[in-house]
Amino acid sequence: MTFEELKTLDGQYVLQTYGRNPIAIDHGTNATLYDLDGREYIDFAAGIGVLSVGTANPAWQKAIAGQAARLGHISNLYYSEPYARLAEKLCTRSGMAAAFFGNSGAEGNEGVIKLARKYSFDKYGEGRGTVITLNRSFHGRTITTLAATGQDVFHQYFFPFTEGFRRADPDMASIQEAAGYDVCAVLVELVQGEGGVLPLDREFVQELARLCAERDWLFLVDEVQTGVGRTGSLFAFQQYGVMPDACSFAKGIAGGLPMGGFLVNEKCRNVLTAGTHASTFGGNPVCAAAACAVLDTLTDEVIAQVSEKGNYIRTKIEEMDLPCLGKTRGLGLMIGVEVAEGWSNKDLCARLNQAGLLSLTAGPGLRFLPPLTITCEEIDKGLAILKEALSR
Ligand SMILES: *Cc1c(COP(=O)(O)O)cnc(C)c1O
């Protein structure tokens, strides 16, 4: 199929909910990809932070093929070894107590919201169902996670949204203003991803965790984008010196297969009891086997290199001193780049994609989320494309 034939087919039969780049990637290895015409691209997007161990990772392929040949699905009415082994790996390395698996980030966040409301209901009864979320946050596309998302542009068309969310700024005065007897939890991204790669202040996060403990609000962390090594530790909370009551994850967990879910601490392990929460595909053996291979690949050593690679990319971009770009920010391989006044981040991003560097936008800036396994050669190739494309 040629690109033009594919574009026509998509236009005719696919719901046009995405503004797509005029590119059709066909195959690749690690962070080097090829389109239908064999043109090469360097991957600084990783399928929006999903391809944590790169494209066609051999250990990931082997785990999937092996599991698919044994048992592709069984349902959560039966025990499943890949499910339990994955839960053990995540808990052991994060210090959390137990895991639940679903299929997406939004579903993971729905889970922690349900957890908080039931925790509070069990202890205090009705009337304590409000969750505080932050301005510029992003928590998903379901009606409830849209309601939780702290950006007005997402609160359109789909009324009525789910009740029980209150917004605050990332400072303690604003949180105190949002506080009340009806609150059961606070939900935050430690580095706001879609909002523009905005890391929260460490002191603020620690104070927030203390306030949550004091008021018996659950401290919920959305690690859908920051989790699975992305920021230079398995979860971002490990660098912030806090322990959440629950954290959601998704994007990078299964290296490209659909999986999301959440982890809870000891205090919350008995809140969601049999029959109160479920997901038909959740923790599917093939996805769980893929996720086990991802975690085995992302050793502490590999994750330690994430910060080095991220700092290298940021330093190199700042050294280019390009007129269209401003400061860089972020944590690990979650990188945001400011766009200078008078330039459009969407135009610059389209230009990078066209020039052979798959890139993303976030808020008003550019965003790079390369595979965590990207090699130094691939990074340098990507940076050379960036320099050439944005100097023009
Ligand atoms: C991507 C993202 C989501 C939504 O994940 P889906 O898998 O698309 O449902 C939620 N929260 C954060 C922080 C995200 O980056």
Residues 6+ apart with CB under 8 A from 377: none
Burial class (CB in 10 A: 0-12, 13-18, 19+), 21: middle
Measured from the CB, is residue 225 less than 6 Å from ligand 1? yes
Strand partners of residue 331: 334
Amino acid 36: pLDDT: 97
Amino acid 392: pLDDT: 82
Residue 145 alpha carbon, nearest atom of ligand 1: 10
Contact yes or no for 389/357 (Cβ under 8 A): yes
Cα of 389 to ligand 1 centre, how many Å? Answer: 29
Amino acid 212: pLDDT: 98
Domain positions in the chain: 3-52+300-391, 59-297
Residue 194 alpha carbon, nearest atom of ligand 1: 15
Measured from the CB, is residue 362 less than 6 Å from ligand 1? no
| CATH architecture of the domain formed by 59-297 | 3-Layer(aba) Sandwich (3.40)
Residues 6+ apart with CB under 8 A from 131: 113, 116, 117, 148, 164, 165, 166, 183, 184, 185, 186, 187, 220
Cα(229)–Cα(223) distance, rounded to whole angstroms?
A: 10
Coil, strand or helix: which one is 212?
Answer: helix
Cα(217)–Cα(227) distance, rounded to whole angstroms?
A: 22
Amino acid 100: pLDDT: 98
Measured from the CB, is residue 371 less than 6 Å from ligand 1? no
Coil, strand or helix: which one is 25?
Answer: strand
Closest CA to 57 of 291, 234, 236, 282: 291
Measured from the CB, is residue 234 less than 6 Å from ligand 1? no
What CATH number is given for 3-52+300-391 in this structure?
A: 3.90.1150.10
Amino acid 173: pLDDT: 98
Measured from the CB, is residue 138 less than 6 Å from ligand 1? yes
Strand partners of residue 185: 131, 218
Profile the chain (392 residues) by mean pLDDT over runs of 10 residues: 97 97 98 98 98 98 98 97 98 98 98 98 98 98 98 97 98 98 98 98 98 98 98 98 98 98 98 98 98 98 97 98 98 98 98 98 98 98 98 88
